[in-house]
Amino acid sequence: MAQFKAHSVLPGFNLALGYTLLYLSLIVLVPLSALFFKTAALGWAGFYDIASSDRVLAALRVTFVTSFAAAVTNAVFGLVVAWVLVRYRFPGKKLVDAFVDLPFALPTAVAGITLATLYAPNGWLGQYFAAHDIKVAYTPLGIVVALTFIGLPFVVRTVQPVLADVEAEVEEAAASLGAGRWDVFRRIIFPAIYPALLTGFALAFARAIGEYGSVIFIAGNMPYISEIAPLLIVAKLEQYDYAGATAIAVLMLLISFALLLGINALQWWSSRKGAR
């Protein structure tokens, strides 16, 4: 232990580390290992049966594809929102800034019901889509809408402070060296905010994967088409099939873990390249 302990003016390394481990164990590791224990009751064959069933695979595909699409949408438009909030001054800016956090505060079920009503074929917004033969509510597209809504604050709030940190002088220097607006964004601003953008993307993505409340109201929940994996878990729980439910949960957990690990690696690699 002594070799990890760098000299510090603030005492309490042992206490802080002990607390961290205890906290993580109680809050994260114990429930997760319980999940694996429960699943283990199925045995390899049972687990494989559930994991390879068409309905589960379809639900997982819907979950991850829609989550990814929502996170990408948020990365793009969240960046625009952050840009506007940092770069421009306009009346009501503070109010707009506060709106960004609303998706955090709203119960997700309320968001789901509201969105479903708005985007239904006869709803306020849905009717215009319906006129062009586009169905939003009760399709995977509706799921993406709901997940975009709940994930928006992540990207805005992670990118905003970093973008505010990019000095105007650096952009002026680039301009005086002959760089056009696009070059300034691509070569100067984007590399500076890229790690934060990736973090925001990862958070929005992770949040979307686990989202349940808002999605079930707008998804229509048709098996193989718009049924998400968390719904399948709840369905199995309602049939007292606890092992089956945890099996799907473990599957989701493993995929999420792999994806987030990948994003973290990408981030580590890019920040090592940059912020030295």
Partner 1 sequence: MSITIENLNKRFGDHIALNNINLEVKSGELLALLGPSGCGKTSLLRIIGGLDVADSGSLLFHGENVVERDARERNVGFVFQHYALFRHMTVFENVAFGLRVKPKRERHTEAEIRRRVTHLLELVQLDWIADRYPSQLSGGQRQRIALARALAVEPRILLLDEPFGALDAKVRKELRRWLRHLHDELHITSIFVTHDQEEALEVADRVVVMNQGKIEQVGTPDEVYATPATPFVYQFIGNVNLFHSRIHSAWTQQHGDAVAYVRPHDIDISHTQQDPASLAGEIRLVRAIGAVVRAEVAVAGSDELVEIELSRERFEAQPLVNGDQVFIRPRQVRVFDESVKGSL
Write phi, then psi, for 252 (nearest 5 degrees): -60, -40
Q: Is 167 in the site for partner 1 (CB under 8 A)?
A: yes
CA 270 to chain centre: 20
Contact residue for partner 1 among 55, 87, 93, 273 (CB under 8 A):
273
H-helix or E-strand spanning residue 119: helix 108-119
b/e code 224-240 from CB counts within 10 Å (16+ = b): eebbbbbbbbebbeeee
How many Cα neighbours within 13 Å face the side chain of 275?
13
Which residues, including other chains, have CB under 8 Å from residue 135's CB and lie 6 or more apart? Answer: 121, 129, 141
CA distance 147 to 156: 15
Binding residue count for partner 1, defined by CB under 8 A = 21
In the bound complex, what is the minimum distance in angstroms from residue 195's beta carbon to partner 1?
A: 10
Instruction: From residue 232, give the alpha-carbon distance in Å to each of 43, 181, 197.
Output: 20, 48, 31
Q: Is 183 in the site for partner 1 (CB under 8 A)?
A: yes
In the bound complex, what is the minimum distance in angstroms from residue 194's beta carbon to partner 1?
A: 9
Write phi, then psi, for 263 (nearest 5 degrees): -65, -40
Residue pair 243/171 in contact (Cβ under 8 Å)? The answer is no
Site string for partner 1, 111-150 (x = CB under 8 A): ----------------------------------------
Contact residue for partner 1 among 178, 238, 239, 240 (CB under 8 A):
178
Contact residue for partner 1 among 62, 75, 155, 174 (CB under 8 A):
174
CA distance 147 to 201: 12
Only one of the segments 51-59, 147-155, 184-192, 250-258 lies at the binding site for partner 1 (rule: CB under 8 A); that segment is: 184-192
In the bound complex, what is the minimum distance in angstroms from residue 168's beta carbon to partner 1?
A: 9
Instruction: State which residue, 12 or 274, has the beta carbon closest to partner 1.
Output: 274
Only one of the segments 71-79, 124-132, 134-142, 185-193 lies at the binding site for partner 1 (rule: CB under 8 A); that segment is: 185-193
Contact residue for partner 1 among 175, 225, 253, 263 (CB under 8 A):
175
Only one of the segments 101-109, 182-190, 243-251, 256-264 lies at the binding site for partner 1 (rule: CB under 8 A); that segment is: 182-190
Residue pair 113/119 in contact (Cβ under 8 Å)? The answer is no
Amino acid found at 112: G
Q: Is 189 in the site for partner 1 (CB under 8 A)?
A: no
Instruction: State which residue, 11 or 178, has the beta carbon closest to partner 1.
Output: 178
Residue pair 54/224 in contact (Cβ under 8 Å)? The answer is yes
In the bound complex, what is the minimum distance in angstroms from residue 204's beta carbon to partner 1?
A: 24
Contact positions toward partner 1, by CB under 8 A?
A: 167, 169-170, 172-180, 183, 187-188, 191-192, 273-276
